[in-house]
Amino acid sequence: MQPLVLYDTTSKLPGNQWSPNPAKPRFALSYKGLPFVTVWVEYSEIATVMKSISAKQIKRLDGSDAYTVPVVSDPNTGAVITDSLEIASYLERTYPEKPIFPNNSEALIRAFDSAYMSLIFPAVKFVIGRVAEILSPDSAKCFIEVRSKDFNLPWDQFTSEGPKREAQWELLEKAYNTVYDWYQKSNGKWIMGDTFSYADIIVACFVLSYKRVMKEDEWARISSWNGGKWTQLLTDVEKECNLA
């Protein structure tokens, strides 16, 4: 079997990775034990590289078409798949061993993904503000333009300190209190109780992004929430996916 190719976006951090969405296929590929290699792409060069491999565009929040990562290219089938959730669906159909949508749960997990993103999206502007600090100058400039357009906000709304920043913290903690309640109601280690699934990968990859992108005291704050639930979940999912 030839290794699959995962296209991810690079950074100035050791080990490069920072973005939650490309992390999801990395975790899924590792969980399924599929061989893969990573191609690291500057954020400013995503469109050029994705065009060169004939990747599909996605719809941005304003309705425009855009190239993005993650993209997975599978030389075993010739498939080129864009978007983390569609990659997960492809991997499940093509390589069904060790399911990430167990018990025919893909529709349920798609709904979970939508609900989770709706919860955290309004609360992550200050996290997005931190990302520009870990990118190369050209990529940071491109990132700022894209995210400002996505949210239809000036960049200083992503980097403000004081009461505005604290309000974002309160929103984010409230969101994770809700997710914590979902886990509590599952009566098990995972969102589906005792059954590991892609839903846990979704949550863990955002936690990983916070750990990578945020400052040490900010990460400590998140680590303290819900009795340390999120650091433990990240540890557990990394172990489950053979990434510990």
Say what the pLDDT of residue 160 is. 84
- Residue showing tokens 């992108």: 213
Instruction: Specify the DSSP element, H or E, that contains 36.
Output: strand 36-41
Cα separation, 156 vs 237, whole angstroms: 35
Say what the pLDDT of residue 235 is: 98
pLDDT of residue 65: 92
At 61 the pLDDT is: 73
Q: Please give the pLDDT value at position 161.
A: 87
Those residues of the chain that have pLDDT short of 50 are none
Spatial distance between the Cα atoms of 102 and 239, rounded to a whole number of angstroms? 18
The DSSP secondary-structure symbol of 97 reads: S
Please report the pLDDT score of residue 93 as a whole number. Answer: 98
Residue 40 phi/psi, 5-degree rounding, is -90, 130
Host H or E run for residue 80: strand 79-82
The tens digit of pLDDT for each residue in 104-148 reads 999 999 999 999 999 999 899 999 999 999 999 999 999 999 999
Tokens found for residue 193: 């109780």
Residue 102 CB coordination number (10 Å): 16
All structural domains of the chain: 4-94 (3.40.30.10), 105-241 (1.20.1050.10)
